[in-house]
């Protein structure tokens, strides 16, 4: 029997990807959630994500995907694994309230068409440059770079390209960083997602920053944690192997676990 695959985006005849449910394969126990985030996302994409023709995506190629496209792949996996909703937690900024606000997010609402890989950008001085959208490889290199020095201009410089009529300065002006960051956020709003809501307790207007990538990863991490706990319980009692336990349908695993709880 073949593995069931879910379409993304979840709309008829619009799918770009197919994804299998995470935590349903023995290989999912090997995903290390303590890896640096760029490495972890690549591991998840290459393990669970397929192109629309059914071919599994290649890990090497996903490093060249834009951060936006990698997020779409992660959304596809999360949708196939945890369903169409995820919950973000925020705290009201009103000092007299400080209520905990739960935001139920519909994953399908974040499905988007492919984002351009390069855009035109006008510097604060009115000069035109080309700017690449960051890729997985850029994130990977940035992670290595910040182990020694946090220098945003280093990251910005690798994204900018001169045009036939302009030349990049030897050192980037400080005001270019915020300007380019705002332009990138306009093109790819999900990477720096901000939701405007009213606090349900005091009605104060809130701008909630949501790290959507982290939220999806955390949901998948919880699935793996549950998978490990189930394997541990069943292996301890029945002495079955990891492979045999994971091969059981989820409903059968839960039946065995329920009997252990009942003491039967």
Q: pLDDT tens across 182-216, in order? A: 999 999 999 989 999 999 999 999 999 999 999 99
- 48, 77 in Cβ contact below 8 A? yes
Q: Give all strands of the β-sheet with 160-161 in edge-to-edge order.
A: 118-122, 128-132, 160-161
Alpha-carbon distance of 251 to 264, in angstroms, equals 18
User: Is 50 exceeded by the pLDDT of residue 1?
Assistant: no
Residue 220 has pLDDT above 80, yes or no: yes
Question: What pLDDT, on a 0 to 100 scale, did the predictor assign at position 13?
Answer: 80
Say if residues 199 and 101 touch (Cβ distance below 8 Å): yes
- pLDDT confidence bin for 264, thresholds 50/70/90: low
The predicted-structure confidence for 224-238, as pLDDT tens digits, reads as follows: 999 999 999 999 999
Query: Model confidence over 27-60: pLDDT tens digits?
Result: 999 999 999 999 999 999 999 999 999 999 999 9
Cα torsion 111, 133, 139, 58: sign: positive
Number of Cβ atoms within 10 Å of the Cβ of 258: 10
Strand 49-51 with 160-161, pairing: unpaired
Cα gap 6→75, rounded to integer Å: 11
C-alpha closest to that of 115 among 211, 168, 183: 183
What are the structural domain ranges in the chain? 5-86+212-262, 118-187
Q: For the segment 122-165, what is each residue's pLDDT rounded down to a tens digit? A: 999 999 999 999 999 999 999 999 988 778 889 999 999 999 98
């Amino acid at each position: 029997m073949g593995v069931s695959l879910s379409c993304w985006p979840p709309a008829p005849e619009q799918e770009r990807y197919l994804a299998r449910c995470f935590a349903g394969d023995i290989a999912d126990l090997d995903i290390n959630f303590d890896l640096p985030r760029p490495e972890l996302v690549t591991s998840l994409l290459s393990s669970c994500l397929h192109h629309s023709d059914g071919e599994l995506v290649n890990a090497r190629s996903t490093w060249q995907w834009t951060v936006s496209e990698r997020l779409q792949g992660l959304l596809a996996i999360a949708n196939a694994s945890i369903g169409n909703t995820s919950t973000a937690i925020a705290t009201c900024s009103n000092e007299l309230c400080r209520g905990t606000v739960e935001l139920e997010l519909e994953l399908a609402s974040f499905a988007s068409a492919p984002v351009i890989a390069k855009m035109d950008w006008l510097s604060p001085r009115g000069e035109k440059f080309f700017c690449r959208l960051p890729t997985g490889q850029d994130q990977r290199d940035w992670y290595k770079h910040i182990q020694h020095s946090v220098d945003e201009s280093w990251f910005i410089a690798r994204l900018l390209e001169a045009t036939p009529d302009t030349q990049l300065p030897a050192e980037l002006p400080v005001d270019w960083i915020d300007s380019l960051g705002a332009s990138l956020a306009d093109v790819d709003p999900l990477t720096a997602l901000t939701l405007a809501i009213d606090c349900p307790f005091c009605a104060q207007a809130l701008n909630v920053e949501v790290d959507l990538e982290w939220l999806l990863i955390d949901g998948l991490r919880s699935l793996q944690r549950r998978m490990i706990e189930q394997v541990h319980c069943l292996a301890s009692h029945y002495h079955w192997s990891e492979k045999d336990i994971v091969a059981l349908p989820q409903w059968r695993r839960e039946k065995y676990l329920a009997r252990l709880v009942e003491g039967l």
